[in-house]
């Protein structure tokens, strides 16, 4: 008589093997080549609010990279802003400043004119003559960003309600309005509404006024039109005026460097940033 019974141990090990294969298969699928690669440049010097934002960004973006399957690198070495290095990446981020070296500037312009992607935050658009960051790069500030020089800002860093133009790939899943984390909002030399190459994606809603607390009255906005996020139709780029955390300025001489707010604490603001980055990382802009 033939014994057709399969030993219990064999069945158990077969089940374990099957479950292991089921679990490993999606892991292997997700561990392939990233969809695109991002390189973030930063300086992280002088302004504690900008340094705080850079620190947050370099923690937040790697988490998003793991979730959405792209690669994220960051560097303080602006000499890496050259054709050979940039050829490894589909998107460049300026977290807090801009390049000043002529060779670096030329490499970045060529990268963008060749179809590269770019995301910039807050101080990356700053230029003021005279200052340590003069407006001496017309292509970047007037042609590319369109904003020209910095003119003024609110104080203290304050949250704002933004109106969203949802007729754009990076904003189509956003609500019509959302509230940001506290930020130091900038006013610019040029009226971006008059530039046919610029598409304003978010602007400050009038419900935000008065915006800022002073102490100077000029640091409190009571009216006006202020773009906060925009793109240039001729390039694969998005600029965010956000990127200035609120700090414990009252105790700045105690060397506490305590951050009171974080840009990525706003759920909708974070959603807009990651949606914008995923759009920039695509092979096509549509």
For residue 26, the model assigns a pLDDT of: 37
Is the CB of residue 51 less than 8 Å from the CB of residue 237?
Answer: no
**Residues 183/153, Cβ–Cβ less than 8 Å:** no
What are the tokens at 162?
């933004």
What is residue 252's DSSP assignment?
A: G
Domain boundaries, given as residue ranges, for the chain: 35-280
Instruction: Give how far Cα 156 sits from Cα of 41, 49, 143, 260, Å.
Output: 27, 12, 30, 12
pLDDT tens digits, 188-212: 999 999 999 999 999 999 999 999 9
Write out the CATH class of domain 35-280. alpha beta
Residue 11: both structure tokens together: 């069945």
pLDDT tens for each residue of 115-138? 999 999 999 999 999 999 999 999
- Please classify residue 40 by burial: count the beta carbons closer than 10 Å to its beta carbon, then call 0-12 exposed, 13-18 middle and 19+ buried: buried
Would you say 155 and 219 are in contact if contact means Cβ atoms under 8 Å apart?
Answer: yes
Which residues are CB-contacts of 238 (< 8 A; sequence separation ≥ 6)? 118, 119, 120, 170, 201, 229, 230, 231, 276, 279, 280
Radius of gyration of the chain (CA): 23
Predicted confidence at residue 249, as pLDDT, reads 79
Nearest to 114 by CA among 92, 141, 137, 145: 92
Share the mean pLDDT of the chain.
90
Residues 214, 220, 224: CA angle, nearest 5 degrees: 170
Cα-to-chain-centroid distance, residue 103: 24
Q: How far apart are CA 256 and CA 251, in angstroms?
A: 7
Q: What is the pTM of this model?
A: 0.87
pLDDT for the residue 46 = 80
Structural tokens at position 171: 């904003």
Q: What is the full per-residue pLDDT of the chain (286 aa) written as tens digits?
A: 444 454 444 445 544 444 444 343 333 334 589 999 999 999 998 899 999 999 999 999 999 999 999 999 999 999 999 999 999 999 999 999 999 999 999 999 999 999 999 999 999 999 999 999 999 999 999 999 999 999 999 999 999 999 999 999 999 999 999 999 999 999 999 999 999 999 999 999 999 999 999 999 999 999 999 999 999 999 999 999 999 999 997 776 556 679 999 999 999 999 999 999 999 999 755 5
The predicted-structure confidence for 12-23, as pLDDT tens digits, reads as follows 554 444 444 434
The pLDDT of residue 284 is 58
């Amino acid at each position: 008589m033939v014994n057709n019974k399969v030993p219990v141990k064999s069945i158990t090990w077969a089940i374990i093997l099957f479950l292991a294969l089921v679990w490993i298969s999606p892991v292997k699928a997700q561990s392939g080549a990233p969809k695109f690669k991002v390189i973030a440049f930063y300086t992280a010097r002088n302004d504690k609010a900008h340094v705080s934002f850079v620190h947050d960004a370099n923690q937040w973006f790697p988490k998003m990279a793991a979730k959405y399957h792209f690669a994220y690198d960051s560097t303080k070495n602006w000499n890496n802003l050259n054709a050979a290095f940039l050829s490894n990446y589909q998107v460049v981020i300026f977290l807090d400043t801009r390049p000043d070296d002529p060779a670096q500037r030329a490499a970045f312009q060529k990268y963008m004119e060749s179809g590269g992607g770019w995301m910039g935050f807050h101080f990356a658009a700053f230029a003021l003559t005279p200052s340590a960051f003069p407006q001496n790069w017309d292509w970047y500030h007037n042609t590319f960003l369109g904003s020209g020089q910095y003119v003024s800002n609110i104080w203290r860093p304050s949250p704002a309600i933004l109106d969203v133009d949802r007729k754009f790939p990076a904003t189509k899943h956003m609500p019509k309005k959302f509230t940001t984390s506290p930020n130091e909002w900038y006013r610019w030399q040029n009226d971006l509404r008059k530039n046919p190459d610029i598409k304003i994606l978010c602007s400050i809603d009038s419900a935000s006024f008065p915006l800022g607390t002073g102490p100077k009255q000029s640091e409190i906005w009571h009216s006006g039109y202020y773009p906060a996020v925009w793109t240039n139709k001729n390039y694969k780029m998005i600029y965010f005026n956000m990127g200035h955390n609120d700090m414990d300025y009252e105790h700045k001489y105690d060397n506490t460097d305590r951050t009171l707010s974080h840009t990525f604490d706003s759920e909708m603001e974070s959603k807009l940033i990651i949606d914008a980055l995923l759009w920039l990382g695509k092979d096509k802009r549509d």
